[in-house]
Amino acid sequence: MLGRLLLTASHSDRLRDFVATAPVTRPVVDRFVAGEELPDALTAVRGLTDGGLDVTIDYLGEDITDASQAERNRDAYLRILDAVAPLGLGGRVEVSVKLSAFGQSLGADGHALALANVRPVAEAAARAGTTVTLDMEDHTTADSTLGILDELRRDHPGTGAVLQSYLFRTEDDCRRLATAGSRVRLVKGAYREPASIAHQDRRAVDLAYVRCLKILMAGDGHPMVATHDPRLVAITRELALRHERQPGTYEFQMLYGIRTAEQQRLAEDGEKVRVYVPFGTDWYGYFTRRLAERPANVAFFLRSFVPG
Ligand code: FDA
């Protein structure tokens, strides 16, 4: 119930303004967001990569209303790639993009606009020796996002995509994408979706995740197992043994600030672990989705308003 309310609140401008201007909430936001500017993100990237973790950088720029904002988001990614190329870390530092921020949400031309804006980012990533992963947003964007993935993979086969286990369609999408060279990030899903197309019950979402995981781990692609759920991490490691997959032929992914000790423990145990590092001024939607995932985060957030 609380999670649903928060996902609704993620679209509220008034609440956004309140949270953004209340200084007491800043430490709570900082737990999940690496900062507002590129140097903040680069500091986080250096800390994580020095500690043996890989990263994917997400520039927070959702909810755009015109094409010029989409171009600004594209340019922000080009600056990120310019800044990470000299680090010489290749694929250890990649970028994640939300196609809504590249124009996908701007009416009938949105699909073509997003493709035109993301293509130069995929080219810049290739020049920097790294990759782009397309985040998945609400279900209305799934066909367009997977269509753009297919277009980009013609020239950049390592372009990755996210599939959400809560959608009924996802097992079929996993089968289609479990092929050599593909990179699929499997998540449970973070948006509020109708019962006609998505599992509503947490256990059903978890069971669907395991079915999808089995398809991806048995296939020839590179599964990116994006979850903080200890049971799913353990099942992944069992499947890796069963399919004789070495660490690095699949990877774990977790979000910045969530289960950081577990990120480190898995890496020290020889697993490839990538941390999703979001930064930027437009952090509100991302932040409320993280609160919605866990009631304890809401308590932490509310406590920040209590003095002393
Ligand atoms: P679950 O929510 O069951 O959590 C398992 C355990 O992890 C919890 O008991 C808790 O210990 C810890 N945990 C999880 N979330 C936490 C939080 N917010 N704060 C503190 N602890 C927490 N979704 C989407 O729809 N599109 C996308 O593109 C992406 N991209 C993405 C990238 C990466 C790298 C990750 C890890 C996740 C995403 N997601 C996403 C989000 C995903 O769909 C999902 O909402 C979250 O990962 C939470 O689900 P878990 O699998 O972690 O399990």
| Cα 189 to averaged position of ligand 1 atoms, centre (Å) | 8
- By the 8 A CB rule, do 152 and 174 touch? no
Buried b / exposed e over 212-222, threshold 16 CB at 10 Å, is: bbbbbbebebb
Which amino acid belongs to residue 117?
N
| Mean pLDDT of each 10-residue bin along the chain, 308 residues long | 62 66 68 93 97 97 86 97 96 97 94 98 97 97 98 98 98 98 97 96 97 98 98 98 97 96 97 97 84 72 57
Per domain, the residue ranges of the chain are 1-33+290-308, 38-282
Contacts of 141 (CB under 8 A, 6+ apart): 99, 100, 104, 105
Judge whether 78 and 117 are in contact, CB under 8 Å. Answer: no
Q: For the chain, what percentages of helix, strand and coil (3-state, to nearest 5) are there? A: 55, 15, 30
Closest ligand 1 atom, CA of 56? 34
* Catalytic sites, residue numbers: 135, 185
The minimum-distance atom of ligand 1 relative to the CA of 166 is 43
Answer whether 34's CB lies under 8 Å from 41's CB.
yes
Give the distance (Å) from ligand 1 centre to CA of residue 137: 14
Tokens of 283: 């952090």
Residue 288's nearest CA partner among 28, 98, 27, 22 is 28
Distance CA 131, CA 221 (A): 15
- With a 6 Å cutoff on the Cβ, whether 160 touches ligand 1 is no
Query: CB within 8 A of 199, min separation 6: which ones?
Result: 165, 166, 168, 205, 208
- How many angstroms separate the CA atoms of 142 and 162, rounded? 10
Query: 3-class DSSP state for residue 257?
Result: coil
Pocket probe mutation, ligand 1, options 30, 228, 274, max atoms within 8 Å of Cβ: 228
Tokens of 299: 């308590």
**136 pocket-lining for ligand 1 (C-beta < 6 Å):** yes
Nearest CA to ligand 1 atom 9: 229
Range 38-282: architecture per CATH: Alpha-Beta Barrel (3.20)
Concatenate the DSSP letters of all residues of 193-248 into one string.
--TTTB--SHHHHHHHHHHHHHHHHHSSSEEEEE---HHHHHHHHHHHHHTTPPTT
Q: Which long-range contacts (CB under 8 A, 24 or more apart) does 102-110 make?
A: 102/70, 102/73, 102/74, 103/64, 103/67, 103/70, 104/141, 104/144, 104/145, 104/148, 105/64, 105/141, 106/64, 106/65, 106/66, 106/67, 106/70, 110/144
CB of residue 48 inside a 6 A radius of ligand 1: no
C-beta of 161 in contact with ligand 1 (< 6 A): no
Tell me, in angstroms, the distance from the centre of ligand 1 to residue 241's CA: 24
> Is 58's C-beta closer than 6 angstroms to any atom of ligand 1?
no
ipTM confidence = 0.96
Which atom of ligand 1 lies closest to the CA of 291? 18
Pick from 136, 293, 297, 301 the residue to mutate for probing ligand 1's pocket: most ligand atoms within 8 Å of its CB. Answer: 293
CA angle 8, 192, 210 (to 5 degrees): 150
The pLDDT of residue 61 is: 74
The model's pTM: 0.92
Query: 2-9 and 284-293 are packed helices; what angle lies between their axes, rounded to 10 degrees?
Result: 180
Ligand 1 atom with the shortest distance to the CA of 255: 36
Ligand 1 atom 5: residue of nearest CA: 229
Q: Is 253's C-beta closer than 6 angstroms to any atom of ligand 1? A: yes
| 308 CA to centre of ligand 1 in angstroms | 31
Binding site membership of 255 for ligand 1 (Cβ less than 6 Å): yes
Report whether residue 294 contacts ligand 1, using a CB cutoff of 6 Å.
yes
Burial of 140 (0-12, 13-18, 19+ CB in 10 A): exposed
What confidence score (pLDDT) does residue 12 get? 66
Structure-block tokens of residue 44: 């986080």
| Cα 203 to Cα 205: distance, rounded to the nearest angstrom | 5
Beta carbon of 166 within 6 Å of any ligand 1 atom? no
